[in-house]
Amino acid sequence: MPAEAPFIEFRDVSIAFGSRPILDRISFHIQRGQTLCILGRSGVGKSVSLRILLGFLKPDSGSVLVEGREVTTMDERALQQIRHDVTMVFQNGALFDSLTVGENIAFPLREEGNLQEDQIQQLVDQMLALVEARDLRDAIPASLSTGQKRCIAIARALAAQPRAILYDEPTTMVDPLAARLIGDLIQRLKRQLGLTSIVVTHDMRFAHRLADMVLFLESGQARFFGPASEFEQCQDPHVREFLQLDAYVLPGQA
């Protein structure tokens, strides 16, 4: 019986900004229902990979496939379907400050125009329940913590019923407790909804909790791609340096 084709696949993808190479022949894949963590320092192309996947950036060469569909040659109309199936949660949450939490979640549903208002409100309630934020329905985003905003942004992404979610540095600028709650939420969504996830992060501890697969980027190259259980045994010197720096505890923080 043939193995299941990857849900998402990059094949030899390269992109440069001017004379600066960002990604150099990057290949990786992720199966349906898996969580891939993309690790690396700032500026190595982690977030660029997500934007290429959604068609916001065109690679200079290589192939990007979502369920066998070639993304790099799609027109805008076809890309809209990809962005419905694979949605992104941005670092800043991208919430509308003038709308309540409930109205923020309802906004993309109203934009689609194919649901009655009572159906929209029911979905809003369901999404808030999924992220355990029912009590925030009438809150204004300015009153929320960064961690709460991230959870609401996830709820809004879920409302469109995507098949995969991309998380761009979900724990940046949140405290350790909020980071743990976000990690618990991502795991719960995978377990309850079978969602495929790609998580861009520089936080090895966060990745260790979530990842089925790990992609490590350094200087535009994939220094490691494989099961999370094998990452910490990787002998590539760039990987070893990253792991050693991540494990370093400043005096007074132990």
Phi, psi of 97 (to 5 degrees): -65, -25
Distance CA 221, CA 188 (A): 31
Is position 209 within any domain? yes
- Both tokens of residue 183? 């990690």
| pLDDT tens per residue, range 30-84 | 999 999 999 998 888 899 999 999 999 999 999 999 999 999 999 999 999 999 9
Instruction: Give the ranges where 160-249 is alpha helix by DSSP (H).
Output: 176-193, 204-210, 228-231, 237-247
Is position 137 within any domain? no
CATH of the domain at 57: 3.40.50.300
Burial class of residue 205, CB neighbours in 10 A (0-12, 13-18, 19+): middle
Is position 123 within any domain? no
| Percentage of the chain exceeding pLDDT 90 | 63
How many domains are there within the chain?
1
Is position 249 within any domain? no
Find the length of the chain: 254
Is position 239 within any domain? yes
Write down the pLDDT at residue 12. 97
Distance CA 112, CA 238 (A): 45
Q: Closest Cα partner for 10 from 44, 46, 41, 40?
A: 46
Distance CA 191, CA 187 (A): 6
| pLDDT tens per residue, range 110-130 | 887 778 999 999 999 999 998
Is position 119 within any domain? no
Task: Give the pLDDT band of residue 3 (cuts 50, 70, 90).
Answer: low
Is position 140 within any domain? no
Instruction: Report the chain's mean pLDDT, rounded to a whole number.
Output: 89
Q: Are 173 and 146 in contact (CB under 8 A)?
A: yes
Task: Give the pLDDT band of residue 171 (cuts 50, 70, 90).
Answer: confident
Write down the pLDDT at residue 1. 45
| pLDDT tens per residue, range 188-218 | 889 888 999 999 998 888 898 899 999 999 9
Write down the pLDDT at residue 174. 84
Q: Closest Cα partner for 13 from 31, 38, 41, 35?
A: 38
What's the pTM?
A: 0.89
- Give the domain extent around 82: 8-95+164-244
Q: What is the end-to-end Cα distance of the chain in Å, rounded?
A: 51
